[in-house]
Chain A
Amino acid sequence: MSELTHLTLAQARDRLVKGETSAVELTRAHIAQVEAKRHLNAFITETPERALAEAEASDARRRQGTAGAMEGLPIGIKDLFCTEGVRTTAASKILDGFVPPYESTVSGNLKTAGAISLGKLNLDEFAMGSSNKTSAFGPAINPWTRRSDPAAKLVPGGSSGGSAAAVAARMVLGATGTDTGGSIRQPAAFCGITGIKPTYGRCSRYGIVAFASSLDQAGPMARTVRDCAIMLGAMAGFDPKDSTSVNLKVPDFEAALTGDIRGLKVGIPREYRPDGLSAEISEVWEKGIAWLKEAGAEPVEINLPHTKYALPTYYIVAPAEASSNLARYDGLRFGQRVPGKSLDEMYAKSRAAGFGPEVRRRILIGTYVLSAGYYDAYYAKAQKVRRLIAEDFRKAFETVDVILTPTAPSPAFGLDENTDDPVTMWLNDVFTIPTSLAGLPGLSLPAGLSSDGLPLGLQLIGRPFDEETVFKVAGVMESAAGFDVSPEGV
């Protein structure tokens, strides 16, 4: 393993600026690591030749003095982002053979900023899952293992599990993720890295295979808060091609990392301390509160009374939108087609063959909750509750500047665990879903290790479009946590 893969994204950038390394060197080192860590199944599609060609072009740009903010930095792209000329699968068989003739705005922005993509990263099928096990390409594996049982394979979380595993295993300096109910934050926590779901509307959804349009949001996953700040700056921005993207100037997120959080009020929601919350999670949360206090911030107990309704609300809204968004996968214009004697039979056969069980489950739930006679009881009511949840946060942010919670109720679990009942799996996102429903920015950063040696994450939630405060507080916590451990063998 090269020393180059141990740099953070910011360190690598600084070395490139000083001319101490080149994009080609960095890219080669990371491609070697991708090959060395193939057993983690983090990539669905590797594009080393493309990456090296891009790296050469990047070095040329730097020589000409036209380097972008992410110039020459090797990254990975979650395989939910359409990439022009590069197979895009959404980890589903139904998109078999689909090579988009267009580039998603976010991956395009990163390209424009000079980033080098090493390929497309594994995920749960259509981003539906919290373990990466629903991928049609087999699950990505968490590079972390339990001290008590190093042989047991653990999940990297989901849906952006490939992204988290690749960043944690030093295959890339950063990766794009998408987050609908926790799909950036939970895998970041499971893999001991940092990831932020920005405010809904901060990043364009154009060219991202849609799961639940009112919740989907792209964000960066990297090893440090600063890395995420740099990368989000390159990803974000108004896009006239996405009607829900917001026309706001993208701030200099890196500049927000002042280290000064004196006088900031940090909300500690009572509802995030349910009965049966593991002691380890409780402890790491207390530690986080203590770090913030030490740095001069003021913890404030707050109430988010509708929190308990968030999970059921999410599991109505998200599948409803998904059932409609996924109707276009009909085998007619792209992807897998299974012939049938009639149009309906062709639909049924193509979709049955193309979609995995979790996707089918959610399409069925979504179809049900939108059906005549059930719409008011489910979808309409869920939308009302969603507004109440957002209102909880709005009120809380009248008195606090940021909210601190655990990211997930447990550390990474085993590949063969949590398989009996889909609801157990869904509970993984209990702390991240309210933020998604409210459209707020949420960042997860590693705060320590469990007794069994697995990373635990804490989540910081901010006001709409106030990622800067989130980054600032996260930066302080990161320094206090001093999380400098790597998974075995990395």
Chain B
Amino acid sequence: MAYLIEGETGTWEIVIGLEVHAQVISNAKLFSGAATTFGAEPNSQVSFVDAGFPGMLPVINAVCVSQAVRTGLGLKAKINLTSVFARKNYFYADLPQGYQISQYDKPIVGEGELILDLADGSTRTVGIERLHLEQDAGKSIHDMHPTKSFIDLNRSGVALMEIVSKPDLRSPEEAGLYLTKLRSILRYLGTCDGNMQEGSMRCDANVSVRPVGSTELRTRCEIKNVNSIRFVQQAIEYEARRHVEVYESGGEIRQETRLFDSGRVETRSMRSKEHAHDYRYFPDPDLLPLVIEQAFVDEIKAGLPELPDEKKARFMAEYGLNAYDAGVLVAEKISAEFFETVAKGRDPKLACNWVMGDFFAALNASGKTIEEPPVTAANLGAMIDLITDGTLSGRLAKDVFALMVETGKAPGVLVEERGLKQVTDTGAIEAAIDAVIAANPDKVQQVRDGKTTLLGWFVGQVMKATQGKANPALVNELLAKKVQG
């Protein structure tokens, strides 16, 4: 279902392109040996190169190059064997060199694609325009002194991958799905931790609108540095409506950079005209063109892990899961691994239902992460074994699962301790049924008169009488015989 804005003059659609800055996982910075650990003491991870001292020179960190190639391959993108670092020149207090080393017209990674997993289980392919490597700037802190700004250069020089999508996204939801999927791929690859709160993944959204049916690209506005997926969606929604209002009131949209205010849920202009930047890009003369061998790319390619899309396809083929379930399970590598541990040698659909249902519910309720799950995959698997061998009914299993969450104990132990074993002894069940029939002759009569829906009530009474331990299938079968005669 397309996301459209109903205006006064007609219906509008949104055109969105996203630029994601993903911090490369590496021990050292892009062009210096300084460390990159998050949260270190301010200015404790700064080399003379990062601080822009006289005569200091950048030297490319090979790990960052290989991470960029790895990411490019994960996005099924063209890897450019020759790429060029360029200087983006501007003055700011947290940019010690007075320029950022980035890539301009010759990025390391060219066009690729990313597949969105839509809520209805279908997919949509979004184009990737490019990925390039660049340095991060430092951090300016303006609220620690009435007249001074404080500068932390720990982040200065840290490697970022700027991943630019084509303007293929059409709704805030799709933008969210894009970011979720991209983050998932980056985490699978181990090239970025995707942590938006810590700023290791940041997003700029380019937004424009156009009348439905039109193919033009109207003037876009760039909303900078939005730090959560929800905010990105809110920002796009607000910005698109603003564009529609401006156009419908006869105005023009000015190309500009805007800031998202998450408190007021609105965007506002960030740079005035007198600060319009001319970045004066030119190839960095301190660095030779970056030339990599095809063999280097091939080696990285050979070492790529199974990525979400392939894993999803395999889950559907191998385990018979539907697209939605498979999509949810593979979103995080660790949840996919959890599922596979549970499903191994068992009924995969049963495993899927338990993981997607009670397990995820318990995970959410516990506030824990899947790295420390409320129930281990081994225990959940063992519990499913108890269902399969008839020890536990589905109903009992729910109780056992709750106890597993509560106590952390293995299901076998809990079944023993609490006597939760399912009753499959027909004699005991028959006795319980007879007692219920004897106590409710009027209801028996009603069933016999054709009100068969009452049978469910009888099942409930028998289960109650057996503390839920009776095998539900047996209860049904026997009840049908006895009540209906």
Contacts and interface: CB of A to CB of B under 8 A. Distances in A.
B99 interface: yes
Nearest to B60: A243
B54 A213 contact: no
Interface string B31-54: 000000000000000001001111
B282 interface: yes
A372 B288 contact: no
Interface stretch (B85-93, B235-243, B326-334): B85-93
B57 interface: yes
A367 B97 contact: no
A242 B57 contact: yes
A328 B286 contact: no
Interface stretch (A4-12, A37-45, A143-151, A204-212): A204-212
B270 interface: no
A361 to B, nearest CB: 17
A210 B287 contact: no
Nearest to A90: B54
B172 to A, nearest CB: 33
Given A243-B58, A330-B91, A371 B280 contact: yes
Interface in A37-83: 81-82
Given A324-B89, A328-B98, A371-B280, A100 B53 contact: yes
B282 A379 contact: yes
Interface in A190-234: 205-210, 212-214
B280 A240 contact: no
Interface residues of A, number: 44
Contacts of A367: 280
A175 B133 CA distance: 40
Contacts of A213: 285-286
B278 interface: yes
A122 B56 CA distance: 21
Contacts of A209: 54-55
Contacts of B246: none
Contacts of B53: 100, 102, 328, 333-334
A51 B151 CA distance: 39
Interface string A96-131: 001011101000000000000000000000000000
Contacts of A379: 282
Given A243-B57, A371-B280, 16 more contacts: A82-B54, A90-B54, A98-B54, A102-B48, A205-B55, A210-B286, A242-B59, A323-B280, A324-B87, A327-B89, A328-B98, A332-B93, A333-B53, A347-B91, A370-B280, A370-B281
Contacts of A101: 48
B54 A206 contact: no
A198 to B, nearest CB: 18
A369 to B, nearest CB: 9
B282 A206 contact: no
A243 B93 contact: no
A88 interface: yes
A375 interface: yes
B52 A328 contact: yes
Given A100-B54, A333-B52, A321 B285 contact: yes
B211 interface: no
Interface of A: 81-82, 88, 90, 95, 98, 100-102, 104, 205-210, 212-214, 240-244, 320-321, 323-324, 326-328, 330, 332-334, 343-344, 347, 367, 370-372, 375, 379
B48 to A, nearest CB: 6
Contacts of A332: 93, 96, 151
A244 B92 CA distance: 27
A347 B287 CA distance: 27
Which of B98, B151, B278 is packed against the most chain A CB atoms within 10 Å?
Answer: B98
A208 B149 CA distance: 30
A320 B283 CA distance: 11
A256 B87 CA distance: 41
Given A330-B91, A343-B93, A210 B55 contact: yes
A244 B97 contact: no
A324 B280 contact: yes
- For the complex of A and B, the 5 pairs showing the least CB-CB separation, nearest first, are A327-B98, A213-B285, A370-B280, A214-B285, A328-B52
Nearest to B91: A347
Which of A209, A330, A334 is packed against the most chain B CB atoms within 10 Å?
Answer: A330
Interface of B: 48, 51-60, 87, 89, 91-93, 96-99, 149, 151, 278, 280-282, 285-288
A328 B96 contact: yes
A333 B282 CA distance: 25
A333 B96 contact: yes
Which of B54, B57, B282, B288 is packed against the most chain A CB atoms within 10 Å?
Answer: B54
A213 B397 CA distance: 72
Given A210-B55, A333-B53, A324 B99 contact: yes
Contacts of B98: 324, 326-328, 330
B280 to A, nearest CB: 4
B91 A243 contact: no
A241 to B, nearest CB: 6
B278 A206 contact: no
Nearest to A242: B57
A408 to B, nearest CB: 26
A102 B53 CA distance: 10
A333 B52 CA distance: 9
A327 B97 contact: yes
A206 B286 CA distance: 10
A333 B51 contact: yes
A332 to B, nearest CB: 6
Contacts of A206: 55-57
Contact of B282 (A90, A244, A324): A324
A375 B57 CA distance: 25
Contact of B54 (A88, A323, A371): A88
A88 B56 CA distance: 14
A100 B151 CA distance: 21
Contacts of B59: 240-243
Contacts of B287: 243-244
Contacts of B282: 320, 324, 370, 375, 379
A242 B97 CA distance: 17
Contacts of A347: 91
B48 A244 contact: no
A401 B285 CA distance: 29
B55 to A, nearest CB: 4
5 contacts: A208-B55, A244-B285, A323-B89, A327-B91, A367-B280
A92 to B, nearest CB: 10
B55 A104 contact: yes
Contacts of A98: 54
Contacts of B96: 328, 332-333
A326 B91 CA distance: 11
B60 to A, nearest CB: 7
B89 A243 contact: no
Contacts of A334: 53-54
A49 B93 CA distance: 39
Which of B51, B53, B60, B96 is packed against the most chain A CB atoms within 10 Å?
Answer: B53
B285 A212 contact: yes
Given A214-B285, A327-B97, A347-B91, A95 B278 contact: no
Contacts of A242: 57, 59
A141 to B, nearest CB: 27
Nearest to B140: A343
A74 B59 CA distance: 33
Nearest to A102: B48
A371 B89 CA distance: 10
A375 B89 CA distance: 14
Contact of A244 (B52, B89, B91, B286): B286
Nearest to B275: A344
Contacts of B87: 324
A213 B57 CA distance: 10
Given A371-B280, A375-B282, A95 B54 contact: yes
A327 B288 contact: no
B377 to A, nearest CB: 47
Contact of A243 (B99, B149, B281, B288): B288
